[in-house]
């Protein structure tokens, strides 16, 4: 975000992150003990005492020089109690209410964590001059659950976290191989729908379509293995060699298959589209803002199984004209709406208006 805003001519000063303070350390320890003893989550990142500490720290930093605006990504706790006349743009891919009992990191929480999390979200929404949400799902939660002022709410999709973007000419040279190549990219096998992806892979083979599945980012349980399945447990995008491997995976695949069970947004879909790679995923959370059926992929309902995914993939893959047009419009979606420069331009325009 910051790099993209700099490319738009904005001068950026980084006020964070705040280091590990005694309060943060105590909160982390309390959460760990709570999970071990009570199997309950203590959300130490969304507490009043941490928010008050942040308010003091950032108020002092803001006083040291002059600023036109504050851009606060995923920072409800940082800005909830911040006293300042400087307009704040609060950017997020979800609200606290939206992720509660939806995302695995926000389930099984103590009541006090739920109360404080919602209160901090409300305070952050009220304090912000602009609200830039990555998806319609998040924006609707702000409007419905926190009565956000509609004039402050804007939907601006996030971009792809890639330092090197291939040219359209390069990615649209994509050619199908002698088998359908599926890419499953995620750090959590179960939450990202790994079992469904594996079942899809098997069903396609049963349908007579030669298929290859590459799993990258996690290690599936032992029962999920096949001679035509490749596993790359981890790739570090900060390492040039490993980043090249990831790029090659995007270029060498025919579909990104991610039947995710819950997803606030899904930057990986934007990254796939940057390579002209269509995404097949689940209609859940913020994903529908990214993937539009027939433009840059397709979405299936949460209850869909491997057979449903296999049928859809086989239909698309067997029609060359349809498949290659989907690749073209997938890259077009990235160029027009799913990159950080578009995000930054819209954010800069919004801030310019309020200034």
- The CATH number that applies at residue 294 is 3.40.50.2000
Using alpha carbons, list the distances in angstroms from residue 258 to 92, 133, 136, 210: 22, 22, 20, 19
Tell me, what's the pLDDT at 217? 96
54 plus 94 within the same structural domain: yes
Domain range enclosing 104: 2-159+340-354
Q: Give CA–CA dist 279/59, Å, rounded.
A: 43
252 conformational bin, left if phi > 0, alpha if psi -120 to 50, beta if neither: alpha
Name residues whose C-beta falls within 8 Å of residue 148's C-beta, 6 or more positions apart in sequence.
125, 131, 142
Concatenated DSSP letters of 227-258 = TTEEEE----TTSHHHHHHHHHHHHH-SEEEE
219 plus 155 within the same structural domain: no
213 plus 115 within the same structural domain: no
Residue from 85, 76, 160, 167 nearest 125 by CA: 76
Domain total in the chain: 2
What is the pTM (predicted TM-score) of this model? 0.95
Helix ranges (H only) for the chain are: 2-7, 22-38, 48-63, 76-79, 96-99, 111-127, 136-146, 168-171, 194-206, 240-252, 267-274, 287-290, 306-317, 320-337, 340-354
327 plus 195 within the same structural domain: yes
231 plus 275 within the same structural domain: yes
Give the domain CATH number at 108.
3.40.50
Q: What is the mean pLDDT of the chain?
A: 96
Q: Is the pLDDT of residue 103 over 90?
A: no
227 plus 88 within the same structural domain: no
Q: Is the pLDDT of residue 301 over 90?
A: yes
Q: How confident is the model at residue 20 (pLDDT cuts 50, 70, 90)?
A: confident
- The sign of the CA dihedral 173, 201, 135, 266 is negative
32 plus 78 within the same structural domain: yes
Question: Which tens digits make up the pLDDT trace of 262-300?
Answer: 999 999 999 999 999 999 999 999 999 999 999 999 999
106 plus 71 within the same structural domain: yes
148 plus 237 within the same structural domain: no
Q: Is the pLDDT of residue 197 over 90?
A: yes
Tell me, what's the pLDDT at 174? 87
32 plus 117 within the same structural domain: yes
254 plus 333 within the same structural domain: yes
Q: Do 233 and 204 touch, CB atoms closer than 8 A?
A: no
**Mapping DSSP to helix (H, G, I), strand (E, B) and coil, where does residue 301 land?**
coil
């Amino acid at each position: 975000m910051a790099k993209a805003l700099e490319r738009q001519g904005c001068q950026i000063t980084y006020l964070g992150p705040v280091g590990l303070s005694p309060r943060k350390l105590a909160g982390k320890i309390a959460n760990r003990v709570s999970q071990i003893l009570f199997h309950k989550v203590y959300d130490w990142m969304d507490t009043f005492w941490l928010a008050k500490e942040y308010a003091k720290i950032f108020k002092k930093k803001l006083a040291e020089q002059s600023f036109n605006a504050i851009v606060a990504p995923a920072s409800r706790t940082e800005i909830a109690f911040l006293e300042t006349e400087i307009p704040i743009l609060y950017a997020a891919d979800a609200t606290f209410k939206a992720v509660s009992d939806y995302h695995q990191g926000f389930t099984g929480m103590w009541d006090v964590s739920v109360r404080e999390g919602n209160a901090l979200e409300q305070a952050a929404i009220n304090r912000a001059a602009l609200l830039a949400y990555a998806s319609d799902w998040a924006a609707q939660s702000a409007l419905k659950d926190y009565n956000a002022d509609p004039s402050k709410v804007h939907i601006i999709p996030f971009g792809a976290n890639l330092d090197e973007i291939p040219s359209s000419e390069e990615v649209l040279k994509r050619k199908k191989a002698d088998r359908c190549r599926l890419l499953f990219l995620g750090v959590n096998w179960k939450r990202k729908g790994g079992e469904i992806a594996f079942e899809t892979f098997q069903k396609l083979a049963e349908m007579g379509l030669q298929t290859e599945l590459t799993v990258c980012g996690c290690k599936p349980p032992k029962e999920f293995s096949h001679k035509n399945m490749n596993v790359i447990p981890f790739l570090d995008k900060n390492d040039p060699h490993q980043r090249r491997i990831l790029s090659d995976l995007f270029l060498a695949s025919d579909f990104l298959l991610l039947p995710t069970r819950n997803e606030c947004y899904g930057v990986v879909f934007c990254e796939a589209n940057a390579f002209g790679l269509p995404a097949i995923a689940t209609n859940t959370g913020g994903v529908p803002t990214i993937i539009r059926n027939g433009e840059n992929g397709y979405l299936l309902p949460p209850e869909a199984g491997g057979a449903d995914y296999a049928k859809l993939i086989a239909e698309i893959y067997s029609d060359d004209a349809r498949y290659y047009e989907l690749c073209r419009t997938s890259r077009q979606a990235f160029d027009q709406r799913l990159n950080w420069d578009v995000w930054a331009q819209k954010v800069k325009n919004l801030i310019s208006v309020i200034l």
